[in-house]
């Protein structure tokens, strides 16, 4: 099968065939959400995939490519993946889903969505599996050929003599030098996470190992800055243990730009979005005025402004970070908050828009039914102005959906 991946980073031209149009939830703005696909693969006899994580990418033929964290089950995945080791999928504009790759454990497990290289191949990570079970980097060529490029060995305590990192939990970023850069949530010299570079051929260099005061557990991917540096976050560590924002050169020189203290936010688990004003915008899962999460702006020099503190009805715990919209605003999701019901005692999550000045509008509140629940990944904007994303839970089968949001 030719997957015809190109360098477009968004998702566009997805049709609404067989989708369900849903009115916005209570307290939400005038936005419409359409469920494009409902996942079902949770048993050893099913290969449909379940629990979609990661931001999708668009192919030149209009198809959407993404990953499911589990599902795609075969008997060969036991005992490492009793519910399946995950899949890479393609979905047509008409809503027909095809499994591009079934992970089996030795070639990776629990994948994240990829990024397109200059050679037209899709590059991605798995947070587990591989030779040492600490995760992998993989490539799928434009003709659909899969290659496992690298298996992480962990850290000094891992037993394999390596310090290259463990558990890459995010997508890669393609830099101007043609190489890919990413993070591992663990491993490295201090077993607290790393930043790495990997070439298109699979040669990996560990650029930096976190030690604690500079941050720990970078679970989000990196964002390329106009100054040639890469910007990212750590979910914990720093001066008060509540996470950091950092910048790193492609040569491995890291600068801690900011350490969160709680009132200004805590635990930034999402990546950064580059604004047209030269600043970066992000979210924290906790902290802020109500300890329910924040949206912030930070300059390349490290000057941070807390733009918004979530209160509950407008959302709780924005896990995934933000995406810059074509209208100059930023769009994101909260894992909880919004509509409270028997399915979601803390709320099923929301989708929101926020201006660079900090004015927030709740666009949609998930109900926990067929529309999905608890969105945990970043949105992407299509060429027609709509946004696309996934929910890891909910939907008709309870194991996730793909949706389209028309603001």
Tell me whether residue 373 is in a domain. yes
Tell me whether residue 11 is in a domain. no
Tell me whether residue 214 is in a domain. yes
Q: For residues 105 and 98, what is the distance between their CA atoms, to the nearest angstrom? A: 20
Tell me whether residue 71 is in a domain. yes
Tell me whether residue 361 is in a domain. yes
Closest CA to 27 of 407, 351, 329, 257: 351
Tell me whether residue 12 is in a domain. no
**pLDDT of the chain, 407 residues: tens digit per residue:** 344 433 333 322 222 222 333 333 434 556 899 999 999 876 555 567 899 988 888 776 767 789 999 988 666 666 778 888 999 998 776 678 889 999 999 999 999 988 888 888 999 999 999 999 999 999 999 889 999 999 999 988 776 768 999 999 999 999 999 999 999 999 999 999 999 999 999 999 999 999 999 999 999 999 999 999 999 999 999 999 999 999 999 999 999 999 999 999 999 999 999 999 999 999 999 999 999 999 999 999 999 999 999 999 999 999 999 999 999 999 999 999 999 999 899 999 999 999 999 999 999 999 999 999 999 999 988 777 888 899 999 999 999 999 999 99
Contacts of 150 (CB under 8 A, 6+ apart): 130, 136, 137, 198, 202, 204
Q: Say if CB 29 and CB 363 are below 8 A apart.
A: yes
Q: Which residue segment(s) compose the domain that 137 sits in?
A: 20-406
Tell me whether residue 329 is in a domain. yes
Q: What are phi and psi of 156, to 5 degrees?
A: -55, -30
- The domain that holds 230 is classified in CATH as 2.130.10.10
Closest CA to 57 of 174, 166, 150: 174
Q: For residues 243 and 41, what is the distance between their CA atoms, to the nearest angstrom? A: 35
82-101 pLDDT tens trace = 888 999 998 776 678 889 99
Encoding tokens for residue 224? 């390329």
Tell me whether residue 10 is in a domain. no
Counting the structural domains of the chain, the total is 1
């Amino acid at each position: 099968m030719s997957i015809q991946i190109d360098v477009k980073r968004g998702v566009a031209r997805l049709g609404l065939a067989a989708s369900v149009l849903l009115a916005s939830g209570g307290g939400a703005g005038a936005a419409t959400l359409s469920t494009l696909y409902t996942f079902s693969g949770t048993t050893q006899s099913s290969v449909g995939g379940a629990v979609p994580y990661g931001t999708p990418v668009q192919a030149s033929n209009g198809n959407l490519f993404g990953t499911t964290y589990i599902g795609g089950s075969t008997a060969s995945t036991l005992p490492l993946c009793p519910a399946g080791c995950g899949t890479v999928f393609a979905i047509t504009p008409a809503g027909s889903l095809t499994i591009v790759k079934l992970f089996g454990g030795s070639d990776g497990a629990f994948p994240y969505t990829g990024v397109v290289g200059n050679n037209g191949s899709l590059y991605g990570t798995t947070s587990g599996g591989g030779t040492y079970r600490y995760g992998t980097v993989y490539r799928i060529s434009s003709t659909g050929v899969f290659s496992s490029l690298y298996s992480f060995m962990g850290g000094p305590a891992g037993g394999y003599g390596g310090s290259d990192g463990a558990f890459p939990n995010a997508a890669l970023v393609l830099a101007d030098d043609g190489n890919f850069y990413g993070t591992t949530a663990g491993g490295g010299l201090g077993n607290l996470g790393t930043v790495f570079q990997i070439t298109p051929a699979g040669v990996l260099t560990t650029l930096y190992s976190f030690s604690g005061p500079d941050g720990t557990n970078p679970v989000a991917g990196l964002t390329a800055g106009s100054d040639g540096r890469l910007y990212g976050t750590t979910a914990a560590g720093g001066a008060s243990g509540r996470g950091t924002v950092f910048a790193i050169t492609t040569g491995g020189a890291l600068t801690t730009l900011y350490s969160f203290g709680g009132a200004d936010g805590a635990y930034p688990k999402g990546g950064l979005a580059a604004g047209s004003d030269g600043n970066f915008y992000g979210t924290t899962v906790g902290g802020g005025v109500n300890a329910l999460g924040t949206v912030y702006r930070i300059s390349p020099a490290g000057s941070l402004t807390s733009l918004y503190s979530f209160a509950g009805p407008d959302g709780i715990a924005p896990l995934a970070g933000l995406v810059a919209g074509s209208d100059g605003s930023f769009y994101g999701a909260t894992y909880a908050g919004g509509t409270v019901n028997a399915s979601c005692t803390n709320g099923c999550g929301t989708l929101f828009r926020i201006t660079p000045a900090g004015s927030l509008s709740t666009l949609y509140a998930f109900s926990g039914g067929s529309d999905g629940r608890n969105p945990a990944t970043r949105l992407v904007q299509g060429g027609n102005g709509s946004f696309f994303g996934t929910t890891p839970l909910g939907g008709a089968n309870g194991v996730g959906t793909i949706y389209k949001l028309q603001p």
